[in-house]
Structure 1
């Protein structure tokens, strides 16, 4: 029996970098909301996902893992996005550990988590078919069909791509080479013009009705 327990213990992953981040964010949000562990426990119980006050303390001390149902319940009672619990409240070039061997810049982590960009930091080359396919696959698997269809409208697509290029351009000014930043700037300007054209077309169509 002792050997089986030791084997089971070895096969259980410890709290990883994301779990540690959840613990830190939980403590921060709870303190900011002025909630004691007892009061937070009561609120969780009221929505049907009870966690004892001692359990909350263990989570904050990184001694207990948070499963996905706990995470959603905590986000609900703290009135924050689940992403706010999962990710650090930083944006920019600061590296964020996501797995024991994976670190990505904060700006890209948030883009990825929000469904705006794959977790890859590269310039999309029109000739790189595999990268384009992966980007499309990421979107189709990460978003509900309704939201994906909205992005397919020319105006929505142009607005989305403009936002994406600007979000990558600004932090990239400190990180990328001048030529890479110039490329992103040109792409942002191109999508800005396309968005303007699409909105003008919608205006003309409305005027004809």
Structure 2
């Protein structure tokens, strides 16, 4: 008798994951804030060429219907919000946000990652400063259009970005009761980037003065 391979467990195709659940919650919240009925929202979606029946909107909000990327963009358009307002929770603190079934990051990091400001640093490079910078550069080169990327590469912009990252990680660590030594190290890095930013802004001031 031939051995029969056991079927591999598969995820149900209609299962709503953590991001889908967040979209459902945000859709209901924003729709209520806009004072839109499901019927009115359905008409607005039809006007932009992406119709969803009122019953479909209700099913989305009940997590009974998945939202594809075209639905998401159309919903953001007619609700007049950023797509991120549907994808992420309305918080910017240290609360955990689930980006995938087995991955969570602080809310502030989820927003910075989605805005093209910072990679999901905690899960990629931890506290390694060299790795942080390398991964940030790779992340930006693949995430941003060339013009925005060139703006970010300017010395003053780079120093400001790295200062922001260090301060964010310092505060996040303190909220998590990180070891004092680690927090002092992060503070020292923040001061270093603060000094570099001051130097770069001084250079900018000199350039402006030379043009007057």
Normalising to structure 1: TM-score of the pair? 0.87
Q: Encode CA deviations 1:15-71: one digit per residue, 9 max, x unaligned.
A: 111001100000010011111011111111222221111111110011111111111
Per the TM alignment, residue 132 of structure 1 is displaced from its structure 2 partner at its CA by 4.4
Per the TM alignment, residue 79 of structure 1 is displaced from its structure 2 partner at its CA by 1.6
SS at match of 1:141: helix
Q: 1:150 maps to which residue? A: 151
Equivalent of residue 208 in structure 1, options 204, 207, 210: 210
Aligned mates of 1:165, 1:110 — CA distance in 2: 16
Cα contact 1:116–1:164 (8 A) shared by 2: no
Cα contact 1:107–1:171 (8 A) shared by 2: no
SS at match of 2:138: helix
Cα contact 2:14–2:66 (8 A) shared by 1: no
Aligned mates of 1:206, 1:144 — CA distance in 2: 28
Aligned mates of 2:101, 2:17 — CA distance in 1: 7
Is the counterpart of residue 67 in structure 1 residue 68 in structure 2? yes
Per the TM alignment, residue 13 of structure 1 is displaced from its structure 2 partner at its CA by 4.6
Q: 1:188 maps to which residue? A: 190
Q: Which runs of 5+ in 1 are unaligned?
A: 1-8
Question: What pairs with 1:46-195 in structure 2 (closer than 5 Å)?
Answer: 46-121=47-122, 122-126=126-130, 128=131, 132-175=133-176, 176-195=178-197
SS at match of 2:201: helix
Q: Which runs of 5+ in 2 are unaligned?
A: 1-9
Aligned mates of 2:121, 2:159 — CA distance in 1: 21
Aligned mates of 1:172, 1:80 — CA distance in 2: 31
Cα contact 1:139–1:148 (8 A) shared by 2: yes
SS at match of 2:112: helix
Per the TM alignment, residue 206 of structure 1 is displaced from its structure 2 partner at its CA by 1.6
Normalising to structure 2: TM-score of the pair? 0.86
Q: CA 1:10 to 1:84, structure 2 compared with 1: closer, same or farther past 3 Å? A: closer
Q: 1:43 maps to which residue? A: 44
Aligned mates of 2:14, 2:183 — CA distance in 1: 41
Deviation larger for 171-180 or 30-39: 171-180
Per the TM alignment, residue 167 of structure 1 is displaced from its structure 2 partner at its CA by 2.4
CA RMSD after TM alignment: 1.9
Aligned mates of 1:200, 1:132 — CA distance in 2: 23
Cα contact 2:14–2:65 (8 A) shared by 1: no
